[in-house]
Amino acid sequence: LKEENAVLRNKINKLQILSETQADKMRKLEKKLEENKIKEEKEAQDLEAMVQHVEQNLQLMTKRAAKAENSTAKLRQENAQLQAELRNSRLENEALRAGQAGLAAAKQNAEVALQHLLQVTTSSRASIRQLLSGAESLQLVADLLKSIDRISEVSEDGQ
Q: Tell me, what's the pLDDT at 102?
A: 57
Average pLDDT over all residues of the chain: 86
Overall average pLDDT of the 122-145 stretch: 85
Q: Tell me, what's the pLDDT at 133?
A: 87
Overall average pLDDT of the 46-68 stretch: 92
Overall average pLDDT of the 85-100 stretch: 79
What are the residue boundaries of the structural domains of the chain, listed by start?
1-110
Confidence of residue 41 (pLDDT cuts 50, 70, 90): very high
Q: Tell me, what's the pLDDT at 130?
A: 86
Encode the chain in three state secondary structure.
CHHHHHHHHHHHHHHHHHHHHHHHHHHHHHHHHHHHHHHHHHHHHHHHHHHHHHHHHHHHHHHHHHHHHHHHHHHHHHHHHHHHHHHHHHHHHHHHHHHCCCHHHHHHHHHHHHHHHHHHHHHHHHHHHHHHHHHHHHHHHHHHHHHHHHHHHHHHHHC
Closest C-alpha among 84, 89, 78, 88 to residue 123 = 78
Flag whether pLDDT at 21 surpasses 90: yes
Confidence of residue 155 (pLDDT cuts 50, 70, 90): low
